[in-house]
Chains A and B, each alone.
Chain A
């Protein structure tokens, strides 16, 4: 099967600093995989390049057999790429429902409608409610988003991305700032969403239980380069990875 996403020697520097140094890998459709690595390894920068937020200096990014390297964020998103953010990103003053509904409306191309009330667009509203139920925020639909607890705001961020019906979803540290119990719930939730929405999931994560618990493939970034790629088992036993990042005590 053709890979859904291909990175071919993607390179990016800021001044003298190389944040991405010739990274190449491909992501199979329907897979769930992780990118790990120490802070400053260039993980978020890589996501920024995949989503057109940064432009790579060199290399190509192919998504669904199309070169998206030079496309804008908007164009990449409209081709089915979704993203949730490390620093939770949502619309604080809108209700939880409207946060997701605006994404559904965007997906249905209804955001130029300027006369009818948002609730008139039943398809978007129903879809938004369905997503809120899936991520467990159904009961909070009418609250302004800034009132939510941090963990729920992270879920809302994912919910907004789901509203766009992405083929592929990038999650940037979905469990950061969560308690161990919340992490466990979120881990199960991510796995469920992956199946429920037929997603191809690529996530950055520091919590190794989450990484080794749900990822089929793990990629290790270090100082901008891809140090290793393999199944969780291979990565766990890779001596380079152990010395560079995981350390003995994690295992």
Chain B
């Protein structure tokens, strides 16, 4: 089991650096570079989201709030003060996401289950509406265009490696977190919150911690995305953005650490191939979600592992129990 996890980790990092490191060398067109950049950023966002859902059992339908906050911090600072503020603006996004997630978190962690989901959704929509309607500050429906990172970061390849570095560090940090004592407590909270109280630990406080951490990385994803697309729009706050990140996690497997990243890659590739040719994109992702929930609840990575597990005699039961999170 332990070796298995080790191998999986080594394979992931090797593939990660080989594939994402080589893309700029093999591809001369910006198009695929941007696509790869999207996969990196969404992959990190989905993994951070899964710290809430897959690890701690908190299904937030409002992570778009922090993603948008990160993006709008960058957009508004660059628009109002110039592109030199790009990097400090990412920092400001992280800071504001931390503060806002503490405030909202204190409210939403008071309830659990469906209530938690509903409230996170409602807060996300609240901020979306404010962004949408506060036209003279946020640009409303128009969003903000021509957000160009400063200096050498304006070069697409350089910016790509900049995000690659930040995403790799973020994934590494989340990876450490999952395997740390705090990560263990979070996993325990999903499985048996009452017993965690009997360990002398505060369940709500730990839930707040991971809510803030997850939101922090969502804001980082948003800030980085503003520099990739050079524009932002209020839909980044919209509930479908939260829904998409959930879908990515579910496709890859919420019981897997690396699953959500793979789910993000798949969704972005499918969207690239199919999405451009149809106006019925939400029908497609709806059907994918339906199939995942009904037939492949452990996600693609989880189901593949389960399939392999069937051929190992010592592990016939493994993974049959809910959404076993294998770290």
Q: Which A residues lie at the B interface, using CB under 8 A?
A: 51, 73-74, 77-78, 83, 85, 89-95, 98, 101-103, 105-107, 110-118, 121, 124, 142, 144, 146-147, 160-161, 164
Chain A min CB distance to B56 (Å): 13
Chain B min CB distance to A87 (Å): 10
Knowing A92-B321, A94-B187, A102-B185, say if A118 contacts B198 (CB, 8 Å): no
The answer to whether B325 touches A106, judged by C-beta atoms less than 8 angstroms apart, is no
The answer to whether B187 touches A91, judged by C-beta atoms less than 8 angstroms apart, is yes
Say if the beta carbon of B192 comes within 8 Å of chain A.
yes
Can you sample 13 A-B contacts with CB below 8 Å? A89-B195, A89-B198, A90-B195, A92-B192, A93-B191, A101-B184, A102-B185, A111-B184, A111-B206, A113-B180, A117-B176, A118-B181, A118-B183
The answer to whether B180 touches A77, judged by C-beta atoms less than 8 angstroms apart, is no
The answer to whether B191 touches A74, judged by C-beta atoms less than 8 angstroms apart, is no
Q: Provide the residues of chain B in CB contact with A121, threshold 8 Å.
A: 181
The answer to whether B184 touches A77, judged by C-beta atoms less than 8 angstroms apart, is no
The answer to whether B322 touches A93, judged by C-beta atoms less than 8 angstroms apart, is yes
Say if the beta carbon of B307 comes within 8 Å of chain A.
no
Starting from the known contacts A73-B198, A111-B182, 6 additional A-B residue pairs (CB-CB under 8 Å) come to A74-B200, A89-B195, A91-B195, A102-B184, A111-B184, A111-B185
The answer to whether A93 touches B325, judged by C-beta atoms less than 8 angstroms apart, is yes
Residue of B nearest to A146 (CB): B321
Q: Provide the residues of chain B in CB contact with A124, threshold 8 Å.
A: 181
Residue of B nearest to A112 (CB): B182
Q: Provide the residues of chain A in CB contact with B112, threshold 8 Å.
A: none
Closest 9 CB pairs of A and B: A77-B200, A114-B182, A106-B199, A78-B200, A105-B181, A93-B324, A91-B191, A113-B181, A146-B321
Say if the beta carbon of B177 comes within 8 Å of chain A.
yes
Q: Write the B197-224 contact mask toward A (1 if CB under 8 angstroms, else 0).
A: 1111110001000000000000000000
Say if the beta carbon of B34 comes within 8 Å of chain A.
no
Bound complex: CA of A55 vs CA of B176, how far in Å? 39
Bound complex: CA of A105 vs CA of B187, how far in Å? 14
The answer to whether B321 touches A144, judged by C-beta atoms less than 8 angstroms apart, is yes
The answer to whether B192 touches A89, judged by C-beta atoms less than 8 angstroms apart, is yes
**Interface size class for chain B?**
20 to 34
Q: Provide the residues of chain A in CB contact with B180, threshold 8 Å.
A: 113-118
Say if the beta carbon of B136 comes within 8 Å of chain A.
no
Bound complex: CA of A95 vs CA of B318, how far in Å? 12
Chain A min CB distance to B134 (Å): 36
Say if the beta carbon of B10 comes within 8 Å of chain A.
no
Say if the beta carbon of B2 comes within 8 Å of chain A.
yes
Q: Provide the residues of chain B in CB contact with A93, threshold 8 Å.
A: 187, 191, 321-322, 324-325
Q: Provide the residues of chain B in CB contact with A142, threshold 8 Å.
A: 1-2
The answer to whether A118 touches B197, judged by C-beta atoms less than 8 angstroms apart, is no
Among B177, B191, B198, B325, which residue has the most Cβ atoms of chain A within 10 A? B198
Bound complex: CA of A117 vs CA of B180, how far in Å? 4
The answer to whether B199 touches A103, judged by C-beta atoms less than 8 angstroms apart, is yes
Chain B min CB distance to A52 (Å): 9
Residue of A51, A92, A118 near B184 (CB, 8 A) is A118
The answer to whether A164 touches B200, judged by C-beta atoms less than 8 angstroms apart, is yes
Residue of B183, B200, B318 near A106 (CB, 8 A) is B200
The answer to whether B181 touches A110, judged by C-beta atoms less than 8 angstroms apart, is yes
Bound complex: CA of A98 vs CA of B192, how far in Å? 14
Residue of A94, A95, A106, A113 near B201 (CB, 8 A) is A106
Chain B min CB distance to A168 (Å): 13
Chain A min CB distance to B202 (Å): 6
Bound complex: CA of A143 vs CA of B98, how far in Å? 38
The answer to whether A114 touches B176, judged by C-beta atoms less than 8 angstroms apart, is yes
The answer to whether A111 touches B192, judged by C-beta atoms less than 8 angstroms apart, is no
Bound complex: CA of A146 vs CA of B315, how far in Å? 12
Q: Provide the residues of chain B in CB contact with A115, threshold 8 Å.
A: 173, 176-177, 180
Bound complex: CA of A111 vs CA of B197, how far in Å? 13
Residue of A nearest to B177 (CB): A114
The answer to whether B200 touches A113, judged by C-beta atoms less than 8 angstroms apart, is no
Bound complex: CA of A93 vs CA of B194, how far in Å? 16
Say if the beta carbon of B80 comes within 8 Å of chain A.
no
The answer to whether B199 touches A77, judged by C-beta atoms less than 8 angstroms apart, is yes
Bound complex: CA of A160 vs CA of B199, how far in Å? 8
Among A78, A142, A146, which residue has the most Cβ atoms of chain B within 10 A? A146
Bound complex: CA of A142 vs CA of B1, how far in Å? 8
Bound complex: CA of A207 vs CA of B50, how far in Å? 45
Bound complex: CA of A103 vs CA of B196, how far in Å? 9
Q: Provide the residues of chain A in CB contact with B184, threshold 8 Å.
A: 94, 98, 101-102, 105, 111, 118
Bound complex: CA of A117 vs CA of B317, how far in Å? 26
Q: Provide the residues of chain A in CB contact with B173, threshold 8 Å.
A: 115
Scan residues 305-327 of chain B and give those whose CB is less than 8 A from a CB of chain A: 317-318, 321-322, 324-325
Q: Provide the residues of chain A in CB contact with B324, threshold 8 Å.
A: 93, 144
Bound complex: CA of A91 vs CA of B57, how far in Å? 13
Residue of A nearest to B173 (CB): A115
Bound complex: CA of A92 vs CA of B192, how far in Å? 9
Chain B min CB distance to A110 (Å): 5
